[in-house]
Amino acid sequence: MDGIHSEQITAAEVPVVRRPATDDSMAARARVRLQRAEGVARVSFRRAGRGTGLARLYQEGCAKLRMPAGLPGEPAQAVLINTAGGLTGGDRFRTQVEVEAGASAIITTQACERIYRSTGDDTLIASQLHVGKRAALAWLPQETILFDQSRLRRTLDVDLASDARFTAVEAVIFGRTAMGERVHQGHFQDRWRIRREGRLLFADDLRFSGAIDRALQNATVLAGNVAMATLFHAGPEPERLLDSIRDALGDNGGASVWGGKLVARVVAKDGLHLRRAVEPALRILMGGSTLPTVWKL
């Protein structure tokens, strides 16, 4: 397939290939194609005995899925791996997850997703999740790290059956300040559409564009913080979790419950402080299930 790299090459390091082309636009097109990383991961889980087993698995391009052996009675776990080691303009990464009736799964990522500088094109990350009757899914990717002049458009589309449970987090770090990195310019859009039985249960659109580092200073935005996360939970009686989630997030966060869902946001001065708030909150939202090892502090 066009545009798929072998997994040894990281997207940011793909050499620009010079071709003896007379047509500049043709050369430009070839270069763009060579620089693209593309990954597709599709996985579905099925109830098997008293636990959850893998039903189908498909992986293509820079997307790989690893399935650590689960503990008895625990949800199945899948770890998404981007073998391109990061994404840049024009790269695409698509994930589709289905959790069939009665099954229970946790998806996470092996590493923080790094979004590198783009020369113009957007990086696209699209995730589609489907959670069936009496099924449960936790979508717990590690933090996304945005580099200066990155351009990321991300979508999360979720379809829940009437009694499905769903927990999600998306955490973003606008430049690793400890490494002296800041996002002076860039574009970041994150669109969530979560439906229950076809009806929109929650919609969220984050959008940071242009001089991001400057906007982050604003009191309404991040007040000088560079890390933030959104947490979502839909399950029976979310109001019972509200007080403990508020305690876990502390003074830099907020949480609310209405219409059968819990939504929380939190900001922090760096990735470590964000984890210190998000990790205990996830433990609460996950109830008795063990958090993936990568999320432990």
Partner 1 sequence: MADPQLLRLLTWLSPAFPVGAFAYSHGVERAIHDNTIRDRATLVAWLSDLLTQGSGWNDAVLCAASWRGEDVAELAEAMAGSRERHMETTLQGEAFVQAAEPWTGEGRPAPYPVAVGHAARNQGIALDAVLTAYLHAFSSNIVQAAVRLVPLGQRDGVATLAALEPVILDTAARASQSTLDDLGAATVLSDIAAMRHETQYSRVFRS
Chain contacts with partner 1 (rule: CB under 8 A) = 189, 191, 193-194, 199-208, 215, 218-223, 228, 246, 252-259, 263-267
Q: In angstroms, what CA-CA distances link 199 with 157, 164, 196?
A: 12, 14, 5
Distance CA 171, CA 240 (A): 24
**Would you say 175 and 181 are in contact if contact means Cβ atoms under 8 Å apart?**
yes
Give the shortest CB-3-to-partner 1 separation in angstroms.
25
Residue 149, SS3? coil
Rounded Cα–Cα distance for residues 107 and 169 (Å): 11
Alpha helix segments (H runs only) across 163-241: 212-216
Question: What distance in Å separates the CA atoms of residue 293 and residue 53, rounded to the nearest whole number?
Answer: 19
Contact 269/225 with Cβ under 8 angstroms?
A: yes
Least distance to partner 1, CB of residue 267, Å = 6
CA 41 to chain centre: 13
Neighbours of 58 (CB within 10 A): 12
Q: How many CA atoms lie within 13 A of 151 on its CB side?
A: 10
Instruction: Tell me the closest approach of the beta carbon of residue 226 to partner 1, in angstroms.
Output: 12
Q: For the CB of residue 115, give the shortest distance to partner 1 in the complex, in Å.
A: 17
How many Cβ atoms from other residues are within 10 Å of residue 52's Cβ? 24
Shortest gap between Cβ of 88 and partner 1 (angstroms)?
A: 22
Whose CA is closest to 87, among 42, 119, 117? Answer: 117
Task: Give dist(CA 35, CA 15) in Å, integer.
Answer: 8
Rounded CA-CA distance 273/270 in Å is: 6
